[in-house]
């Protein structure tokens, strides 16, 4: 009997019925990055590339049950946390991650969708800061999210450096400040253990960016699960997202999803031409 083991990841996030962001993007990314993906769903969303038309949250108890089921059987080597709409759900996640001594935790502080819908309550943001950020190996805010956390606007590379350092020092975790919302380039800044490092990216002329944040954080979690250190995990994840954007998938009437059907070396292996 030939059996095999595989590194494992868990995404704790919301479901996106259109498959471009949330749980669906996370699982596609994890699969493409060679790890076994599991999920604990915080909410169902009815959404497509043009907007979010409904959010149906699970109860904190049921989220806890999902986390118990996962952690007591196939223990995840890394965890990614995405959309968590309410304070009670955030508290449940923090409680369970501590109970099961989860490690390699990537927290994507999802606040507003690309299509402009609010995905988290004000109270939940406060609880995220106090309960979840301190458990994170790395936090991955985009520029608007970092502005909320930093309390000031971010217009330049220097602003990004100041914000990442301040957020990292305040919450005692590494911060990857994503630059996808810049106009001219797509450079991300990692601030960890007192020093910063830029990850430079060519801005790809693709309007279909639904789920870029979910994809990047899931790729980082996959790489951490596989044993890479944080810098290498980010470097590989950046390469992955650049490839997924450069594949130029075009679906839906709004900002569409990316293509996950290629390997992380950038070699296109999807079956899109069939
Ligand atoms: N047009 C682009 N070309 C190249 N890289 C991009 C582009 N847009 C975003 N990225 C990259 O995608 C990753 C996610 O960044 P972004 O700032 O878009 O996150 P986000 O806003 O959280 O994503 P989301 O669209 O899921 O909300 C980063 O590595 C960023 O540099
Ligand atoms: C369930 C869920 N999670 C996260 C996002 C953010 O992704 P994006 O900003 O690309 O819309 C989303 N739209 N839906």
Catalytic site residue 212?
yes
pLDDT along the chain (274 residues), means of 10: 93 98 98 96 97 96 98 98 97 98 97 86 94 97 95 94 97 95 87 96 93 97 97 96 93 95 47 36
Residue 271 confidence (pLDDT): 37
What's the ipTM?
0.96
- Is 264 inside a domain boundary? no
- Is 4 inside a domain boundary? no
- Is 273 inside a domain boundary? no
Query: What CATH number did the domain enclosing 91 receive?
Result: 3.40.1190.20
Give this prediction's pTM.
Answer: 0.95
- E strands, 108-208, are 138-139, 174-177, 188-192, 195-199
**How far is the centre of ligand 1, averaged over its atoms, from the C-alpha of 238 (Å)?**
10
- The total domain count for the chain is 1
In Å, how far are 169, 186, 231 from 28, measured between CA atoms?
A: 33, 22, 22
β-sheet bridge partners, residue 43: 14, 57
Exactly one of 7, 28, 96, 178 is catalytic; name it.
178
- Is 68 inside a domain boundary? yes
Are 106 and 137 in contact by the 8 Å Cβ rule? The answer is yes
The backbone torsions φ and ψ at residue 43, rounded to the nearest 5 degrees and listed phi first, read -165, 150
- Is 104 inside a domain boundary? yes
Catalytic site residue 226?
no
- Is 262 inside a domain boundary? no
- Cα 47 to chain center, whole Å? 18
- Is 161 inside a domain boundary? yes
- Is 254 inside a domain boundary? no
Residue range of the domain that includes 200 = 9-246
């Amino acid at each position: 009997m030939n059996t095999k083991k595989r590194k494992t990841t868990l995404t704790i996030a919301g479901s996106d019925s259109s498959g471009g962001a949330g749980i669906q993007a996370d699982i596609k990314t994890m699969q493409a990055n060679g790890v076994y993906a599991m999920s604990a769903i915080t909410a169902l969303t009815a959404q497509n590339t043009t907007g979010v038309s409904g959010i149906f949250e699970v109860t904190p108890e049921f989220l806890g049950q999902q986390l118990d089921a996962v952690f007591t059987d196939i223990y995840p080597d890394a965890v990614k946390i995405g959309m968590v709409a309410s304070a009670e759900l955030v508290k449940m996640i923090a409680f369970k991650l501590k109970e099961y001594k989860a490690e390699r935790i990537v927290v994507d502080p999802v606040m507003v969708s690309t299509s402009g819908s609010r995905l988290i309550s004000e109270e939940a943001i406060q609880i995220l800061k106090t309960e979840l950020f301190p458990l994170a190996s790395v936090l991955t805010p985009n520029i608007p999210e970092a502005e909320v956390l930093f309390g000031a606007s971010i217009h330049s590379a220097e602003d990004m450096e100041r914000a990442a350092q301040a957020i990292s020092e305040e919450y005692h975790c590494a911060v990857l400040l994503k630059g996808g919302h810049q106009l001219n380039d797509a450079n991300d800044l990692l601030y960890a253990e007192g020093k910063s490092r830029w990850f430079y990216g060519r801005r790809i002329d693709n309007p279909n960016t639904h789920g870029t944040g979910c994809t990047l954080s899931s790729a980082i979690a996959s790489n951490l699960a596989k044993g890479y250190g944080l810098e290498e995990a980010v470097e590989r994840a950046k390469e992955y997202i650049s490839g997924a954007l450069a594949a130029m998938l075009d679906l839906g009437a709004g900002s569409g999803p990316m293509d996950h059907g290629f390997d992380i070396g950038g070699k296109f292996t999807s079956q899109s031409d069939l």
